[in-house]
Amino acid sequence: MDKFRMIFQFFQSNQESFMNGICGIMALASTQMYSAFDFNCPCLPHYNLAYGLGILLVPPFILFLLGFVLNNNISMLAEEWRRPQGQRGKDPAVLRYMFCSMAQRAMIAPAVWVSVTLLDGKCITCAFCTSVPVDSLGNASHPQLSQGEIQRVLARIPCKEIYNGQQLIANEVAVRYLRCISQALGWCFVLLITTLAFLVRSLRPCFSQAAFLKSRYWSHYIDIERKLFDETCAEHARSFAKVCIQQFFEGMSTDLVAAHCHLPRKAPADAGEAAEKLLGITDQGTMNMALKSWHRCKPPLHLHPPALPTENGWAGEGQPPTHPSVPRRETAAYYSWV
């Protein structure tokens, strides 16, 4: 349990670790989905290709979209892309980094699905069973069979229980031939994906490491800024609700005192703390204006340090004042001649 807790805490440490964990879970889920999937080839000439390629390509596309949906940064990317210019410019490099980062993580589960499917070989066997070279693997001179009948016989290769073309080509030979081709394609796909990932990881620091660091930093900044803004809004809403409820009950207490001549209760101490957290925004219109201003005119990414208080008025005008010189001490030494 301690190891699982440490892994869970690592996934929660930052946004990238969390999304890496989500993508890993999706990759494992894709393999489990394929192992639990009941593959049934229609064994018809005009449907085998569509069914086989559909099982090979449609689930990866769904998993790719699901990877984008589960990524929390997709809404942040859309918001940053569509927001007005305002007081803060939009950096296209940061948007590209965010999109590429999400796309790379979303591609993990589809790549696992395609790899497992090709290595298993059922989809390729179903899709291309009618393209088996009968001339080299079987008996092409089988009498009384037209081209259409040969296609119908070959389409039944994935369905061993209904296959009736042993005299044309053995079922085991055709299945093994197609499965070897599928596994070769699967290993080539795995090698290609691994090589691309290696090249991206190893060669990227050699060309644009400084630009990559800047894009990564500001991407993290946008994520942290959005989280802090949500937390601040939630804290303000909690304080606003607490003050509103406190004022309501104080009004009710005043009415009850006027009717029954009871002394009002002392307001709790946390009501004053909640009022301090409102930061001067005490009505709905002002809060709506603040939210619209945050969306339209985000503050520029430039922090202004507070001016140092001085008596000579030098702040912002020139060099800081020099400290008054400390008067020197004069010491006297007395020598005695003995």
Rounded to whole angstroms, how far apart are CA atoms 271 and 245? 10
pTM, rounded to two decimals: 0.72
Q: How many CB atoms lie within 10 A of CB 229?
A: 13
Q: At what angle do helices 108-120 and 171-260 cross, to 10 degrees?
A: 150
Average pLDDT over residues 299-303: 83
246-264 average pLDDT score? 68
Task: Say if residue 50's pLDDT is above 90.
Answer: yes
Whose structure tokens read 């869970």? Answer: 8
Residue 53's pLDDT is: 93
Q: Among candidates 99, 91, 43, 103, which has minimal Cα distance to 67?
A: 103
Of the segments 78-82, 171-175, 210-214, which one has the largest average pLDDT value?
Answer: 171-175
CA 189 – CA 206 distance, rounded (Å) = 26
What radius of gyration, in Å, describes the C-alpha atoms of the chain? 36
**What confidence score (pLDDT) does residue 186 get?**
94
Instruction: Return the pLDDT at 138.
Output: 75
| 82-104 mean pLDDT | 86
Those residues with Cβ within 8 angstroms of residue 23's Cβ, 6 or more apart along the chain or in another chain: 67, 105, 106, 108, 109
- Per-residue pLDDT band for 274 (boundaries 50, 70, 90) equals low
For residue 16, name the pLDDT band (cuts at 50, 70, 90): low
Residue pair 215/94 in contact by the 8 Å Cβ criterion: yes
Q: Give the dihedral of Cα atoms 150, 152, 154, 158; nearest 10 deg.
A: -170
Q: What are phi and psi of 184, to 5 degrees?
A: -65, -40
Q: Please state which of the ranges 99-103, 220-224, 242-246, 251-255 shows the lowest mean pLDDT.
A: 251-255
Q: What pLDDT was estimated at residue 246?
A: 85
* 200 contacts: CB under 8 Å, gap ≥ 6: none
2-6, 117-121, 275-279, 309-313: which range is least confident on average?
309-313
What's the pLDDT band for 251 if we cut at 50, 70, 90? confident
Q: How far is CA 308 from CA 305, 313, 322, 323, in A?
A: 9, 10, 14, 14
Look at residue 116 in the predicted model and tell me its pLDDT.
92
Predicted pLDDT at 333:
41
pLDDT at 316: 44
State the pLDDT confidence band at 325, using cuts at 50, 70 and 90: very low
Mean pLDDT over each residue of the chain, to the nearest integer: 79
Range with lowest mean pLDDT among 69-73, 131-135, 141-145, 189-193: 141-145
Check residue 327 and give its pLDDT. Answer: 47
pLDDT band at residue 255, thresholds of 50, 70 and 90?
Answer: low
Asked if 125 contacts 40 with a C-beta cutoff of 8 angstroms, the reply is no
pLDDT at 270 over 70: no
The mean per-residue pLDDT over the stretch 151-180 comes to: 89
Query: Distance between CA 6 and CA 17 in Å, rounded?
Result: 13
Select from 326, 246, 321 the least CA-distant residue to 278. Answer: 246
pLDDT higher than 60, residue 78: yes
pLDDT at res. 182: 95
Taking a C-beta distance cutoff of 8 angstroms, is the pair 55, 123 a contact?
A: yes
For residues 94-120, average pLDDT? 90
Tokens of 201: 């990881």
- The confidence band for 9, taking pLDDT boundaries of 50, 70 and 90, is low
Cα separation, 127 vs 123, whole angstroms = 6
Residue, of 10 and 134, whose pLDDT is higher = 134
Q: What confidence category does residue 195 fall into, taking pLDDT thresholds of 50, 70 and 90?
A: very high
Amino acid at 25: I
Token duo for residue 122: 């059922």
109 contacts 30 by C-beta, under 8 angstroms: yes
Q: What is the pLDDT of residue 7?
A: 54
The answer to whether the CB of 96 falls within 8 A of the CB of 25 is: no
pLDDT > 70 fraction of the chain, expressed in percent and rounded: 76
Angle at alpha carbon of residue 102, lines to 98 and 106, rounded to 5°: 170
Q: What type of residue sits at position 298? A: K
Q: Amino acid letter at 98?
A: M
